[in-house]
Structure 1
């Protein structure tokens, strides 16, 4: 017996080289597993770390070969052959290997083998192979962290798509546990399974699972997802959970399956992670550690994809209607045009849809009603489209449709069909709406070769449709483009005119009907003389200001100019009782409106009763916080409010009673028809009766004949305004008119 054997406390008859010192006690406290073999590669010594790592005592390991004891598994035959080749050629090996515990659990180790040369032989004898020292270091946790977590997390950083990411997880797992086949499934919102990755599972089996519903008896994966807890089936051929699936799986060599649910941070099952086995066995400790790490990685990867999808949804889809937004629609439509351009008959239609009076719904019924209406319109548009058509929402109440292959005739028919669908009654919380819309039509390639040009031209056609009294659709024509260009030029020039104070005011008297010639007040009316176009219609440039961002600037100029003129009249002691100015509905959305009015009055030394603010019925119906606050502040300040164009909009007695309105202005269209329309006379009588009951004055606009004046006077209309008395005139002309009227009443 070799003397060193006693020092290392080996079993009898080992032949240890004399060069190894007696360090048994020191070796036993090492975390590494250390093995010494004799010249025949049989174990003669193991330290205590060996027993801790592999579970074998010295007596159980003595005399056995390490390869037979720890490495003799079919799954590692290739790596074992590689180790043998290096030992034979180099006398040593350093690397990673998959070893196995006494109970069969796999253990990844760092393995170092060194062959200790035997003593030199006597002359004429061959040299013995020598003993070997093997050192095993447990790498299982390191492998899980570095080889699995690090690679997967790095792939996430590089934004690898989820299916490829799950394939990476499965491949890494199968490399560390060669006896398993890994699989990842997704569970959709309807409780159906969908294959994400199973690189080693036969494709036919993946397709067998895809689309199946989870349930209490749906194999390992479907049941684990249903229960929300792991399911271990060690023999799928006999387990009732697999009765619908086992023939196909067993025929392809799959005998067992362990599936665990993947849950998101809210605890909802979003997928499953499964190990399939080729033998009827259950998971070992390595499998459990792998699954623990993989479930965390799968959860992280799926939540990352959910977050990315959410970001994509927010970036490219309208959050209310879930239609593509302008960015996505434009991109998809342009690609569709490129595809059409390669066909023999490239043609398409673009329809620009704009809802009429949508703001009125928002203001009168609240944003919830407006949102519900938009969602309903989006649904109606979808229902009218073919699979190849595109639809998107561009802005608040604007939608757009791309209709590949449609001719002008077909596009017009589609537009009419859409208008009919939109016009169907819509009920929301007991209120019925009858939506209306206007549609502009542009054709590809006649009206544009790219989506941006088509959108611009379809928008111009829609704007033209809104101006037509009886038609709700319009096809683009080059003349519309010219008009749109003129509109841009006019907006620029109007901006300059406001900034340079090139606008001016005219004034039209309002007279008392019971004392014709006696002044009730005057109305200030904006005028614009363009150096090229001459006198621009107020209806045209004020509408332009309201549609653009200029209305606030125009109103500030109007307020300042009117108050300055009223102050001059007061200083000159001219008998102008009050001055009326018109405000836009958009002005009331400015939180500072009331403060601006008060500042103008103060700046020019005027009192609140010097000014009358004429508002439209849309202001009265506006339920927005800013509009309500402004009306309240103006009333508290003592400003008089006059309701302009009464009877032409959507007034209601409830609003008239609730708001601080002091007078109603009867629209000139009723006065004009006074002598020819019984309906007009009946309506005027009703307005006069309502005004009397509410203590309001009525101002009749557009009085042009003496017969109209006399009829209004007989029926109690307090104030009249129109060409019969005086046209809108400059301040100097109004002063002349006032002196003339004074001379008439005094008989001078």
Structure 2
């Protein structure tokens, strides 16, 4: 083979070599760059050939590279160097690779050439660096890392094992570490359990109590992970990572024991003492104390089991302030206070004599705050050396502060519950239960001393209107002011309490009836003085019921019940009065209660009936409309007059049910008449003023008209002047909402109340009804004639129809005809009739060829 062929073969071999090969000449220029070099540097051969080799060397390495080459040139060595070195390679794409460099030198004439052979070792370098980092992690972590073989013998244990358990890790290699720190039996059971779980899962965790070299218990959270041989599928190694959770367990145990004490309602002092003793057990060298702060800002020690007894006694009653030691200052500032040297810190200037003789040299105090933000106490650590708390101390305090706050809040809640059990939260007066207790005690005393007592039961008149119109906040302020006034009028030894929403009672000792009357009269006048609430001057009256001991009852409940009855009697007689209880009143109250029960049952069972009284047009005798009148016949009480049971319904909150029944029944009846072809122009229903306050009657009317498919002109609503005089904001709104439905409103019994013409113009009234009381003397009394005339003229001037009630004679009809009154209603035409009787009356009237016109006025 000639030399040319040999050179070509050598060059081909070098080009195809798996390692990068780079030749440089005596000027350090690249004269050969093989395929592997192109791949390693990521550069095409054309960009490299002829350029200085430093172009291939990372910038930060170029100086050392040139020195190395120059040194080799000076040595004159003409053979492959005996050493290799690792060099970085910066690729064209910006990534870094690593190569193992071997350098060869050759002389050809006067020229010296170098051949660089670079084997890529990037993956090896990365693995080695990864192993180095993992080794650093394993050796510097605070957790124990153990690698065991499938026989559970240690092949690697890091330094943390010594730090936690006190054993040299080297002594554990080849042995079972768990057998040393647990014993053979327990360790065997543990490792069998772990091995079984790792057969099913790749890893598992459990908490284990171990022992260190001194026998002290150490809680760890141990996580085990298996290593599987990919070829056989068998477990080759187990990697265990153990975290010391002793402190966590200690705090958990502390919290568990304290919470159990709190839940079992142990006294606050016992709970505080438990906290202190538990903390001192897990924080050696610390003396603890828990101090509460009274409402007037004084310190009250409740626990300090390791502090000298005279120390706690001296702290009691000290005031909080900006320079009140650690605890007093922490309570004052609401922030932690650390004094690392009590002997020199100015916060202890006035109190240094207390801790220093006891060798208490440092103190860290943290305020105990309730959820409201109020500082309720302090939790303090005292040290017998000048120092600051450790992170472990801080962790303990963070846990205990919440426990202390919980215990204090529970005590506060218990106190609050006790206060609620006896005191009214709004006014601070005794509540009903406490009043009964006080009365019972006072009655025993009065009976023993033969002394009279008086009980006054007060209720604010129209208080519901204040709440509804001005809001409950205004109502509450009014109640507070009334309670203040009542307390101001008490004699020494008398008791006032709030037993309900706007109900108060006053127990007056050594008081007979005449004095009770004088006191009640004075209270009526005093309480009626206007109260200024949010810029409004409110004049409130009260109704007072009075019972006397022993005349009206021998026990607290009886006296209260009878006084309540007397108070309601005062309300029925006009309010702003006082009334004494009598047996006759008691009987009336009982009868009314029994009747109310029967009425409630009748409403529920729809036992009420509607009767119908015709209204006749005066001009032609046609039917103007009919008024639906409620009637109630009870199997026990017989026929109960409508005024009586309507008043009873309003008193006991039943009137809404009656009004809803009345609207539903009337709508159903007019719809039936329409279906039967009986031309009744409209039907009128009486509604209570109380129904106008809630406003729900509007939805009832609208729903009934839809249900029975009747027109608004088929129905008419009758109200009394009480609606006009009602100051409740919903009353006027309800009346206008009814008018919006298209239903006309009639004013019943007009002229007998206290309404004004301005009120009449304000309400959407379509019809006036002259009260029957005017008809009784219309024929003889000019005043009655004048009043009837005035009502008719008012209605006509306002575009309203006028209906006269109680018409019984032709003479009355003649006068009404002269006045051009629109319609009349009364016994002259018909009494209130049942459905059947009214239909018979109407049909007979039709048969007399007096056809009714469908008046829609």
TM-score in terms of structure 2 length? 0.58
Counterpart-to-counterpart distance in 1, 2:824 and 2:248 = 93
Answering whether residue 546 of structure 2 is matched by residue 458 of structure 1, we say no
Equivalent position SS for 2:832: coil
Determine the structure 2 residue equivalent to 1:221.
Answer: 327
Counterpart-to-counterpart distance in 2, 1:737 and 1:725 = 15
- Which of the pair has more CA radius of gyration? 2
Matched-pair contact (CA < 8 Å) for 1:594–1:634: yes
Answering whether residue 404 of structure 2 is matched by residue 301 of structure 1, we say no
Answering whether residue 577 of structure 2 is matched by residue 472 of structure 1, we say yes
Classify 1:290/1:369 alpha carbon distance in 2 versus 1 (closer, same or farther; 3 Å).
closer
Determine the structure 2 residue equivalent to 1:39.
Answer: none
Determine the structure 2 residue equivalent to 1:356.
Answer: 461
- The Cα of 1:27 is off from its aligned counterpart by 11
Matched-pair contact (CA < 8 Å) for 2:617–2:822: yes
- The C-alpha deviation readout for 1:53-78, integer Å capped at 9, x for no partner, is xxxxxxxxxxxxxxxxxxxxxxxxxx
Alignment of 1:203-242 (within 5 A): 214-233=320-339, 239-242=345-348
Matched-pair contact (CA < 8 Å) for 1:509–1:725: no
Classify 1:110/1:139 alpha carbon distance in 2 versus 1 (closer, same or farther; 3 Å).
farther
- The C-alpha deviation readout for 1:227-286, integer Å capped at 9, x for no partner, is 332223456676543455556777888776432112345655343223456787765677
Classify 1:460/1:175 alpha carbon distance in 2 versus 1 (closer, same or farther; 3 Å).
same
Matched-pair contact (CA < 8 Å) for 2:803–2:821: yes
Determine the structure 1 residue equivalent to 2:140.
Answer: none
Determine the structure 1 residue equivalent to 2:120.
Answer: none
Equivalent position SS for 2:628: strand
Matched-pair contact (CA < 8 Å) for 1:33–1:48: no
Answering whether residue 535 of structure 2 is matched by residue 436 of structure 1, we say no
Classify 1:649/1:435 alpha carbon distance in 2 versus 1 (closer, same or farther; 3 Å).
farther
Matched-pair contact (CA < 8 Å) for 1:166–1:196: no
Matched-pair contact (CA < 8 Å) for 1:424–1:435: yes
- The Cα of 1:455 is off from its aligned counterpart by 3.2
Give the alignment partner of residue 717 of structure 2, picking from 594, 613, 625.
Answer: 613
Unpaired runs of 5+ in structure 1? 1-24, 35-45, 50-95, 100-107, 112-137
Counterpart-to-counterpart distance in 2, 1:205 and 1:332 = 44
Give the alignment partner of residue 584 of structure 1, picking from 678, 682, 688.
Answer: 688
Answering whether residue 297 of structure 2 is matched by residue 192 of structure 1, we say yes
- The Cα of 1:541 is off from its aligned counterpart by 0.9
- The Cα of 1:709 is off from its aligned counterpart by 9.5
Matched-pair contact (CA < 8 Å) for 1:645–1:665: yes
- The C-alpha deviation readout for 1:351-388, integer Å capped at 9, x for no partner, is 33222222333444455544443443344344445686
- The Cα of 1:638 is off from its aligned counterpart by 1.3
Counterpart-to-counterpart distance in 1, 2:395 and 2:658 = 73
- The C-alpha deviation readout for 1:456-499, integer Å capped at 9, x for no partner, is 22222222221224762223233333222212321233345553
Matched-pair contact (CA < 8 Å) for 2:423–2:434: no
Answering whether residue 433 of structure 2 is matched by residue 330 of structure 1, we say yes
Classify 1:146/1:729 alpha carbon distance in 2 versus 1 (closer, same or farther; 3 Å).
closer
Counterpart-to-counterpart distance in 2, 1:26 and 1:733 = 108
Determine the structure 2 residue equivalent to 1:501.
Answer: 607
- Relative contact order (alpha carbons < 8 A, sep ≥ 6): 1 or 2 greater? 1
Give the alignment partner of residue 588 of structure 2, picking from 483, 503, 507.
Answer: 483
Counterpart-to-counterpart distance in 2, 1:469 and 1:28 = 91
- The Cα of 1:639 is off from its aligned counterpart by 0.7
Unpaired runs of 5+ in structure 2? 1-156, 171-210, 219-243, 852-857
Give the alignment partner of residue 271 of structure 1, picking from 377, 381, 391.
Answer: 377
Determine the structure 1 residue equivalent to 2:176.
Answer: none
RMSD: 5.6
Determine the structure 2 residue equivalent to 1:423.
Answer: 528
Counterpart-to-counterpart distance in 1, 2:467 and 2:831 = 36
Determine the structure 2 residue equivalent to 1:635.
Answer: 739
Classify 1:468/1:191 alpha carbon distance in 2 versus 1 (closer, same or farther; 3 Å).
same
Counterpart-to-counterpart distance in 2, 1:474 and 1:269 = 51
Give the alignment partner of residue 257 of structure 2, picking from 136, 141, 151.
Answer: 151
Equivalent position SS for 2:607: coil
- The Cα of 1:214 is off from its aligned counterpart by 3.9
- The C-alpha deviation readout for 1:308-355, integer Å capped at 9, x for no partner, is 667777887766556566xxx225523651575367237654433222
Matched-pair contact (CA < 8 Å) for 1:580–1:611: yes
Give the alignment partner of residue 628 of structure 2, picking from 524, 539, 548.
Answer: 524
Equivalent position SS for 2:266: coil
- The Cα of 1:152 is off from its aligned counterpart by 1.1
Matched-pair contact (CA < 8 Å) for 2:435–2:497: no
- The Cα of 1:425 is off from its aligned counterpart by 0.9
Equivalent position SS for 1:642: strand
Determine the structure 2 residue equivalent to 1:341.
Answer: 444
Determine the structure 1 residue equivalent to 2:650.
Answer: 546
- The C-alpha deviation readout for 1:7-57, integer Å capped at 9, x for no partner, is xxxxxxxxxxxxxxxxxx9999444576xxxxxxxxxxx9799xxxxxxxx
Which moved further from structure 2: 372-381 or 405-414? Answer: 405-414
- The Cα of 1:582 is off from its aligned counterpart by 0.9
Equivalent position SS for 2:465: helix
Equivalent position SS for 1:341: helix
Counterpart-to-counterpart distance in 2, 1:723 and 1:566 = 21
Determine the structure 2 residue equivalent to 1:69.
Answer: none
Counterpart-to-counterpart distance in 1, 2:488 and 2:309 = 37
Matched-pair contact (CA < 8 Å) for 2:439–2:556: no
Counterpart-to-counterpart distance in 2, 1:712 and 1:207 = 97
TM-score in terms of structure 1 length? 0.65
Equivalent position SS for 2:265: coil
Counterpart-to-counterpart distance in 2, 1:251 and 1:478 = 78
Counterpart-to-counterpart distance in 2, 1:244 and 1:669 = 90
Counterpart-to-counterpart distance in 1, 2:777 and 2:486 = 41
Counterpart-to-counterpart distance in 1, 2:532 and 2:591 = 41
- The Cα of 1:140 is off from its aligned counterpart by 7.8
Classify 1:434/1:626 alpha carbon distance in 2 versus 1 (closer, same or farther; 3 Å).
closer
**Matched pairs, number:** 625
Matched-pair contact (CA < 8 Å) for 2:301–2:315: no
Give the alignment partner of residue 833 of structure 2, picking from 721, 730, 733.
Answer: 730
- The C-alpha deviation readout for 1:513-556, integer Å capped at 9, x for no partner, is xx597765443333345566554332211111222353244334
Equivalent position SS for 2:377: strand
Determine the structure 2 residue equivalent to 1:661.
Answer: 765
Classify 1:227/1:586 alpha carbon distance in 2 versus 1 (closer, same or farther; 3 Å).
same
Classify 1:545/1:29 alpha carbon distance in 2 versus 1 (closer, same or farther; 3 Å).
closer
Classify 1:735/1:469 alpha carbon distance in 2 versus 1 (closer, same or farther; 3 Å).
farther
Counterpart-to-counterpart distance in 2, 1:691 and 1:369 = 40
Alignment of 1:714-725 (within 5 A): none
Matched-pair contact (CA < 8 Å) for 1:391–1:399: yes
Answering whether residue 266 of structure 2 is matched by residue 160 of structure 1, we say yes
